[in-house]
Amino acid sequence: MPAPKNSIRRSLLVTSAIVLSTALTAPAAFAAPSPSAGSSSKPSAGSSADSSATVSADPSKTPSKKPKDSKNSKGSKDSKGSKAAPPAKMSTVGGALLGRAGTQVNLASGVPVLPKGLSARSWIVADAESGEVLAAHNAHWELAPASTLKMLFADTLLPKWPSSTEHEVEPSDLAGIGSGSSMVGIKEDETYTVHDLWLGVFLRSGNDAVRVLAAMNGGVENTVAEMNEHAEELQALDTVVVSPDGYDAEGQVSSAYDLTLIARSGLQKKDFREYASTVRADFPGETRKNKKGKKVRESFEIQNTNRLLSGDYDIPVYQGIAGVKNGNTTEAGATFTGVAEQDGRVLLVTVMNPEKKEGNQVYKETAKLFDWGFEAAGKVDPVGELVPPRSAAQAGARPGGAGASAGEAGGTGEGALGAADGRPVASAAAGGGAGGVGTALAVTGGVLVLLAGGAFLVNRRWPLPDLVRRRPRP
């Protein structure tokens, strides 16, 4: 009945306004100084998502929107020109406290203290479903993102083609790849499926795979424009894309807050979840002639460079980890956004450019923040929120408004996953060795229900599929 529904919605909107106002005006109980201005910005040797060296951006690859003005994009700089301290004024998207420099956290009674030894220039800990930001450090500091920007590339382009679509690589597809870029090993005149290419993007952070997909999408310039447009839709307003693969380029920036928004959006998509959680897969090699003169094409194994997912000599697989993406360039240092579940709670953590240059430092600091977040969740008052996409916010604000389109903000459609009878279903293995031990998470049934109107504004819930019930891996 229309009248009762509208009445309930108005009541919810009022409640939302009160809750949001309280959250934005509450003082932070703790503030820590930002990292020292003299620290180096070289990438840590142990972080292997992007081993690319920095060169000047191709002048023909200009961003589709102008770089941010000085009030947000400039901080003090070290001797190499890298930002060493956050700017005095930063964006307040998600809450006023998130625009402040330093650490923002409400350390009330019973809340665990933050872990020691955090050196990242920027980080954030957030509840992936409610959107509550539990703690943050320079959340809106605009920094070079490295290959974490590939999350935005994937979230923008994944719906374009079925995974079985085939493409024969032309020499022009691979033009413009930066010197020292991370590569998966794509060869000219060979045919790959879209599924192969996305595995190359997510597992090996292959800039060659990005360039081929961008060529299929009308070219780099068109892809950059679409990525910038999608970033604005997600309200990732700190983000400016110049190179779709995250390769260092003048004016290209993002923030820990934005990368977390982007990951949250991507995780609504079934195929994004599959690729981001795949530990290892077989990738097509080059066609050769065998001893009998017959053409054969063998495959080779690729492994995910996300060390919380695959493990390394000095860091174990993190309990409950299910992706998402890492990166490392000269300008950006090491960057990482991860999602993990423990005891039914799903957290997102983003860490950008640890100043300590020990091996795998970005993963070690991420693991510490996950540990803190799971212990603090339900005890700590949030310092802000992850905002919904513009379309979801606008739809929720309209009386009787519907929610976002499929795959966004909890929309139904291809982003929803599950059996109709509610039985658990594993992430689909799409061939090439990507399933089985290659996929780190299973998802249970149930349709991803759209939250519309005032209820979305009150709860800010963007329900993820039950995406992180991990299966044991041999």
Would you report the helix, strand and coil content of the chain in percent, each value rounded to 5?
A: 30, 20, 50
Phi, psi for 218 (deg, rounded to 5):
95, 5
Q: What is the SS3 assignment for 247?
A: coil
Query: Which pairs with CB-CB distance under 8 Å and at least 24 residues apart come from 321-324?
Result: 321/440, 321/470, 322/273, 322/276, 322/277, 322/440, 322/441, 322/467, 322/468, 322/470, 323/263, 323/267, 323/273, 323/276, 323/277, 323/440, 324/151, 324/263, 324/266, 324/267, 324/276, 324/348
- Alpha-carbon distance of 337 to 345, in angstroms, equals 17
Residue 170 is given by DSSP the state: P
Q: Which of 242, 229, 237 is nearest to 257 (CA)?
A: 237
Residue 471 has phi, psi (to 5 degrees) of -95, 145
Catalytic residue chosen out of the listed positions 39, 147, 255, 265: 147
Give dist(CA 212, CA 31) in Å, integer. 45
Catalytic residue among 16, 205, 243, 254: 205
Strand partners, 254: 143
What amino acid occupies position 82? S
Which is the catalytic residue, given 150, 269, 357, 364? 150
Q: Which residues partner with 240 through β-bridges?
A: 253
Query: Can you tell me the distance from the alpha carbon of 427 to that of 443, in angstroms, rounded to the nearest whole number?
Result: 6
Q: How far apart are CA 66 and CA 321, in angstroms?
A: 36
Rounded to an integer, what distance in angstroms lies between the CA atom of residue 201 and that of residue 182?
10
Asked about 150 being catalytic, the answer comes back as: yes
Six-digit token string for 20: 């949001």
Q: Residue 206 is encoded by which pair of tokens?
A: 């292959």
Positions annotated as catalytic residues are: 147, 150, 205
